[in-house]
Structure 1
C-alpha cells in the first residue's frame, strides 16, 4: 500500500512541524526567520526519497535547504530521514511547485534543483514537465538575480527538451555535462534514481542555467 493512502499519514506529518512546514504561506518573505539565519535558500523540487537533499544539508550547513514534494508517501520518506539526522538547515514542504510565488518572495531563493524529474514523454503531457515554460516562470518569480537552476537526468529527450526550453525562456546555460559520471566533476551527491540508473550504464546529464533576472 502506498503511504499516501495509509491512514494516519497526515497525522504523522503534523506531529513534526519543526521539520514539515505546514503553513508555508505564513513564511513567505520570512524563511530566514524560520531557519533562524540569513543563509542562502536552495530548493529541491521533487525530492525522491530524500537522499539528495538530506546529504546536501549535511554537507553544506551554511545553506538552508527546502525539499518540495507533492506526494504524501514521498514526503514521509524524506521526513523519516530527517528525523534520523535532525538537520537544522532542512525543511520539508508538501505543495505544488507551479505556485512557488505563493510561498516565496521575489529574490528569496538562490538555487533550485530538479533531479530525475518525470520526463512525461508524450507530447500531450508537455505542460507537466518541470522545465516547461510555466514552471520556469514560477521558478523565476522567486529567484534572486544570480539564481541558478540545476537539472540532472538520465533521460536524453527530457534533457534536450529542457535545454531548448531554457534558451527560449531567455536563460543562460552556464555549464553543461553530457556524461557527468565520466567527467572531472567533483562533489557529486547522487539521488536514489541516479545510483540505480548509473549502475545500469545510463548516461547522466547535468546543466546549470541562470534566469538573468
Structure 2
C-alpha cells in the first residue's frame, strides 16, 4: 500500500530526537541509556501508527519499549501520539527492522513483537517473511535466553508457515491461538490499528514461542 508523504514528517522527527532514533546502529548495546530507568526491553517490528506499542507501554510502566518502523510518514504519526502520551518508557526507531542483530547487542532484548507482518504470499518470496528461518537466526542472537517472540496475523497461510518455521527451528511454543478474539487468550489483548479494522472479516491468529536453550 502506498503511504502518502507527509511534508511535515522529517522536521517533526528532527525536532523530537529525544524520542526517536534515526541512526540506530550507534545505540547497539546502549539502548537502556535512552530511558530514564533500566528495565526489560521489548521491541515491536513494524509499529504502524503506534497504537499497540503506546498502549503496551501505558499498561506496563515497568518495561521499556522500542518501536521500529521504516516509513517516515508512518512513524511520524506514531511519534505525534507518543509526544501526546508523555510516556517515559517508549522510544521509536526509524529504520528497517529486518536485521535486528545489527541494531541490538547479543541478549539485549527480552521480547519481540511481530504484528500483522507482510505475508509475502508468493512462494518465491518466502525468505522475506519475518518468521522465516533466516530472520529467526537474527532474533535468536538478540533475545535473552528466555526471551519470547509474539506473533499475530490475520493471514492463515502465513500463520501455518510460521508454525512450521518455528517448529523446524526447534522453538518451543508457549501459546497458540487459532481464533484469538474468541478465546481466553484475548484477555488483556492489546490491538493494533490493523487488528481493530480487519478482525471482523475473520479470525486473528497468535503464537508465542521461545528458543530451546537445551535442545536434544
TM-score under structure 2 normalisation?
0.92
1:44-193, aligned counterparts within 5 Å?
44-185=44-185, 186-193=187-194
Shift of the alpha carbon at 1:7?
Answer: 3.7
**SS of match in other structure, 1:17:** coil
2:196 & 2:99 partners in 1: Cα distance? Answer: 30
Call closer, same or farther: CA 1:21–1:132 in 2, change over 3 Å.
Answer: same
2:27 & 2:49 partners in 1: Cα distance? Answer: 25
**SS of match in other structure, 2:53:** helix
Which residue of structure 1 lines up, in the alignment, with residue 197 of structure 2? Answer: 196
1:163 & 1:88 partners in 2: Cα distance? Answer: 35
Gaps of 5+ in 1: none
Gaps of 5+ in 2: none
2:36 & 2:100 partners in 1: Cα distance? Answer: 21
Q: Is residue 97–residue 135 contact of structure 1 (8 Å, CA) maintained in 2? A: no
Shift of the alpha carbon at 1:38?
Answer: 2.0
Cα deviations by residue, 1:69-101 (Å, 9 ceiling, x for unpaired): 111121112111101102110000111222212
Number of matched residues? 211
Call closer, same or farther: CA 1:2–1:116 in 2, change over 3 Å.
Answer: closer
2:197 & 2:11 partners in 1: Cα distance? Answer: 32
**SS of match in other structure, 2:38:** coil
Shift of the alpha carbon at 1:174?
Answer: 1.3
1:34 & 1:77 partners in 2: Cα distance? Answer: 20
Call closer, same or farther: CA 1:10–1:196 in 2, change over 3 Å.
Answer: same
1:7 & 1:65 partners in 2: Cα distance? Answer: 27
2:181 & 2:23 partners in 1: Cα distance? Answer: 39
TM-score under structure 1 normalisation?
0.94
Q: Is residue 36–residue 88 contact of structure 2 (8 Å, CA) maintained in 1? A: no
